[in-house]
Amino acid sequence: MFRKILIANRGEIACRVITAARAMGVRTVAVYSDADRDARHVGLADEARRIGTPEARASYLNIEALLGAARETGAEAIHPGYGFLSENERFAADCAKAGFVFIGPKPEAIAAMGDKSAAKRLMEKAGVPLVPGYHGENQDPALLLKEAGKIGYPVLIKASAGGGGKGMRIVEAAAGFAGALESARREAKAAFGDDRVLLEKYLERPRHIEVQVFGDTQGNVVYLFERDCSVQRRHQKVLEEAPAPGLSAAQRMKMGQAAVAAAKSIGYTGAGTVEFIAAQDGTFYFMEMNTRLQVEHPVTEMITGLDLVQWQLAVAAGEPLPLQQKQLAFNGHAIEARIYAENPAKGFLPSTGTLRHLRMPEGSEFRVAPTGSPAPARVDSGVRQGDVITPHYDPMLAKLIVWGEDRGVALGRMRNALAAVEIIGVSTNVEFLARTVASKAFSGADLDTGLIERSRAELFPADTGASDEDLAAVAFAELLAEAALAAAQAKNSADPHSPWNIVDGWRLNLGSHHELVFAQGEKTHLVQIHFAPEGYRLSVSGRVYALAGREEAGVLQVSLDGAAFRVRAVRDGADWHLFRDGAHRVLTLQSAQGAPEPGIVAGSLAAPMPGKVLQVLVQAGAKVAKGAPLVILEAMKMEHTIAAPRDGRVAEIYFKAGEQVSEGAELLRLEESNG
């Protein structure tokens, strides 16, 4: 076994590898960019080396810097994690040339599967079923349009050299093909340095099922069962589970054997994933092979009790696979939810900021097998409270994984685990995840890659604003905070027992009450708390309630007219954040005469996140209709189109292609069109 390895990655996967290596007695070296100088993975490793500036190309994609760090620290092997250079054949080859073991497959295997078109041709020879499509080298747009017509719409355009949903577009009709092709190529070029694409028939209501494979240097290859990754947004996975619901033992074996055949056809070693697209009737087709460890590997670990990262290290060190196929079995059901810094209500736009408050459910971090009932949640994360989420890297904050004796139990534990997550400082998808897990389609295992879109009404409900229960909770939290502050001030005053230190709302010749004004967006709420010998009475929205409550271990136990509920209230400046049953409300305390801070000036368009302007699609003076695309931004490796919020005329344009913009920066100004 190795004495020391370098992890050529960051964040959650770097922490994951460090933990597995430490359990095997292997020392670890972390690398970091200037943006990650104080990151969690840096402090967790035995040593760390700076490799460059925040831009990925100057740091985590800088092969020479990574190899230099390995030489300086005496590492024997390099673990690429996932993303960045994990599927880069040149990096794997350069590691070998420099005398380091690449903890992954051979460069030839990466090359064989890295080009999706070539991989399809290879799989066809190996007898693995393929989706109808075009995988040729000729990239002439006219030819591609002709091939799309042969395949039949809808057609999927997909980058040949990458994954993760980048460079991928669904085209419903020939009229939209040229624009979609141009956009897919541009995004593919930016993400992978290669703008070649392939075409596939887009299946209606397909499932995304992948099989975990492992190979060793002795020629053994096994499959560790499958994962369903159908729930996706923007072609990126949101929820994953193992085993795949509704898959029969015969289908599981057939799919597993096809995955093993795919791996053996290229002499595969290490961890890999063969991804299939499956029709609702169980028919499946090869989609691609990821020649690395997957983000969702924990669900496989949870049902098998195996540490896949430790398997990676053992195989890379030349050891045979710990188990053969007949020795492998799974137990129970596991579900993983990816927690992202993003805003689902705004098209899942990434969010940046400082994690001012971070609370995860209690669990055993990186635990690979259930340890009793009920099983605690597993949290794989690379961030801590106080960390800054920048626009430079993927916005995933953590992975939340649960196990249950069956899928029903796992679903219940996931709902409870998500309800315990508290994050302040960035927008997150936690509420969206909770709604998805509880949705009719997901809870009923009615799965396909379009689940989010077809469940949109359920997953994106209209915001009804703060309820009376929310206002009661925030008012009670504010009263407790004021009482605590008064008690602290009294303790330090010249007269600790002065009645002026009491905050019970008493007024001379007036009823004893307290008035609080809270804002939520542009709406304000006046809440009156009346103090009486028998307790509080709350007046809000013309209604009066009996209010009672207490605080236990940071959780408010609130009773409103006898209906009791629990809520966590966290203060952040003037903002109160309420976390209740998986919902997150923000209410701002202000004076009765106060007003919310003004937002973006009417008639302007502001950048919803920091990023780079890729294209300005209009000129000053142009008349545009509501919904017309105006500007294309690139942030966190994805393209985002800014559209006109209304009809109007472009009065001014403030940025040009190639320029960086900050969140909230006004991109252009629209004014009313006079005919």
Q: Which residues are catalytic?
A: 292
43 closest CA partner among 10, 90, 78, 82: 10
Whether residue 31 contacts residue 69, with contact meaning beta carbons closer than 8 Å, is answered with yes
Joined together, the tokens standing for residue 120 give 């399809």
Report angle CA 601, 660, 34 to the nearest 5 degrees: 125
Q: Which H or E run includes 240?
A: strand 236-242
Instruction: Look up residue 544 and give its amino acid.
Output: V
Task: Count Cα atoms within 13 angstroms, Cβ side, for 405.
Answer: 3
Q: Say which residues have a Cβ less than 8 Å from residue 324's Cβ, sequence separation at least 6.
A: 220, 222
Strand 575-580, strand 629-635: pairing: unpaired
Nearest to 424 by CA among 293, 279, 537, 574: 574
CA-to-CA distance for 554 and 567, rounded, in angstroms? 9
Please state, as a whole number, how many other Cβ atoms lie within 10 Å of the Cβ of residue 457.
Answer: 8
Q: Which of 670, 664, 655, 643 is nearest to 612 (CA)?
A: 655
What does the DSSP 8-state code read for residue 443?
Answer: H
In degrees and rounded to multiples of 5, residue 184 shows phi and psi of -65, -40
Give, in order, the Cα–Cα distances in Å from 633 to each of 104, 190, 376, 637.
34, 12, 40, 10
Angle between helices 11-23 and 308-316 in degrees, nearest 10: 70
Phi, psi of 86 (to 5 degrees): -65, -25
What residues are paired with 289 via a beta bridge?
Answer: 274
Rg (alpha carbons) of the chain, rounded to whole number: 28
Residue with tokens 């009791």: 564
From CA 23, how far away is CA 46, in angstroms rounded?
13
Check the CA dihedral 414-415-419-423 and report its sign.
positive
Classify 498 as helix, strand or coil: coil
Q: If you count them, how many residues does the chain have?
A: 675
Contact criterion met (CB below 8 Å) for 480 and 551: yes
* Cα(96)–Cα(394) distance, integer angstroms: 28
SS percent in the chain: helix, strand, coil, step 5: 30, 35, 40
Which amino acid appears at position 134 of this protein? Y
